[in-house]
Amino acid sequence: MNAAHPIDVPSFGASLFNLNALNDISPRVLWFTSNFQLQVTTFGTMCCLCFVLSRLYSSRKVFPGPPGLPLIGHIFEVPTIKTWLYFERLAAKYGPLVRLSLAGDEMLILSNASDAEELLGRRSHNYSSRKPLIYAGKYQSKNKRMVLLPYGETLKKYRAAFHQMLQPRVVGGYEPMQELESSKFLMDLLDQPSTIGRHCRRFAASLVFTLSYGKRLEDDDSDLTAVLDILANFTKDTYPGSHLVDTFPLLDYLPDFLSPWRAEASRKHKDEMKLYNRLALEVKAQMDDGNSELECFAARLWDQQQKMNLDLVDISYVAGTAFEAGTDTTASTVQWFTMAMVLYPEAQKRAQEELDNVLGSDGKTMPGYEHLSQLPYCVALTKEVFRWAPAAPGGFPHYSDTDDEYNGHHIKRGTMVIPCIWNMHHNETEFKNSYDFMPERFETTAAGSESITEGHYGFGFGRRKCPGQYLASKSIWIGLTRVLWGFNIRPELSEDGKPISVGPDNCTSGMTSRPIDFPVSITPRSVVHAETIRRTWEGYGA
């Protein structure tokens, strides 16, 4: 019987490596066999290559850090609340550069400013990007929020628009607006001193809202409520560990019915665009009606729309996110100032003595920007607030675009490099007694408004440094200095007459941090000071 040769497993396996035996095998089997042989060879080669690469990589020196679990690394160790304090403990144990891993995502925590200046500053070409966030970036922001953008042409375009409005020579033109809003801030404290947290947030929001859209915000303004809600969501949603999909990106491939977070993020995006589109279009309508005196960020963006190739979504998000960034950090810093004055009354006393020496102690002259160069201690105090309680203590992660070597250690491509501002500001080598509030540490460098941004690291590093640092620092200086001139800030007393204890540990946690509202006594320094505050505000036509 002429039948095809049976192919049992042993003979088939042997034939893979015996070419003479192939003469008796059908062409189809021959095709399969030769391809299988190629696959085996390729697979073996790849295994050898992977082994060599793994040995090569494992031989590279990496920065120290705590032992992690296989595959997931330190995902159960990194807290989602007050992460900067965890980073502080790591630095104390492992040194100023600490490596962590979150389910394959490499992290490098920087605790010394010199390391941040080298990597994020001098090597900024490699460390200016951001880790792609799926929840807050892809769905909540549709990849339009400047703070989350990777380094590239879109970011450069947005930053160029910011630079036009926020460079130092332009910022001086905003002083009348800053003095107006600080006068309203004093008036709010005079009328309702018990709700200082709310007044801090309105002061900060109205400053940046006026700059962005050309109109002020009052305490009961619905736009203020809407933006504060957006800010609260965004701060929470960008915090490490907030959303599982950012740690395990494969979850983004699940269908919608298994991913309720996707609909939630998209709903937040719709809410943001509803507000920011309306505000941008209101500015456009005023311009179309011939309001040539309208001077704000959104108006400049509309003017530059064709030149910069901007669409409505670009203009809405650039103006809107400028408002977000300035509001959150400014409000947090002013609230930290209030707590510092409760805890360190001697600093408050020294600042008031300087103000009285320059302006007179009769309370008839309110400080303004023309007095800045004469008030070095008030400048030093402002800088110390930035240092003592940074608004973004954990820092915002940068992202490495290529492999790098630093101090003999390997930094992988795609590593999140996090400048921990809290650790830098509490580095005892640079700042002695760093947990104490000591404005005198900056007195020798407190000369002029430019110096407010120097000597601390609260505005970040390199190409991702805060573009609004000059505006923010001057806004905070005028607000703080005028409060010190007009009011005494003391601990609130309990029913038995004892000071109610407050402390910096009672604060919010997220990308930014502020004190949770606390009891505090704020009273005018004199009747004349109160009259000057009221008269100045009424002079604005209020």
Tell me: the pLDDT tens digits for 383-428?
999 999 999 999 999 999 999 999 999 999 999 999 999 999 999 9
State in Å, rounded, how far the first CA of the chain is from the last one: 112
Tell me: the pLDDT tens digits for 210-221?
988 998 988 777
pTM for the predicted model, two decimal places: 0.85
In this structure, the number of other CB atoms found within 10 A of the CB of residue 151 comes to 21
Nearest to 126 by CA among 104, 103, 108: 108
Is residue 44 within 8 Å of residue 51, measured between CB atoms?
no
Is residue 286 within 8 Å of residue 294, measured between CB atoms?
yes
CA distance 317 to 530: 40
Q: Which residues are annotated as a binding site for heme?
A: 466
DSSP string, 136-168: IIIIISTT--GGGPPSSHHHHHHHHHHHHHHSH
Q: Which residues are annotated as a binding site?
A: 466
Q: Give the pLDDT confidence score for residue 450 in this predicted structure.
A: 59
Asked whether the predicted pLDDT for residue 12 surpasses 70, the reply is no
Rounded mean pLDDT, 205-233: 86
The token duo for 40 is 């085996």
Q: Which residues 6+ apart lie within 8 Å of 415 measured at CB?
A: 106, 107, 108, 399, 400
pLDDT band for position 203 (cuts 50, 70, 90): very high
Helix, strand, or coil here: 73?
strand
CA distance 412 to 403: 5
Q: Give the pLDDT confidence score for residue 33 in this predicted structure.
A: 44
Among 67-71, 166-170, 375-379, the least confident range:
166-170
pLDDT band for position 46 (cuts 50, 70, 90): low
Nearest to 203 by CA among 116, 331, 63: 331
Q: Residue with structure tokens 């601390």? A: 456
Q: Residue with structure tokens 């102690």? A: 361
Helix, strand, or coil here: 3?
coil
Complete domains list, the chain, with CATH: 113-538 (1.10.630.10)
Q: Residue with structure tokens 């550069």? A: 97
Rounded mean pLDDT, 149-158: 87
Rounded mean pLDDT, 31-55: 49
Rounded mean pLDDT, 165-169: 79
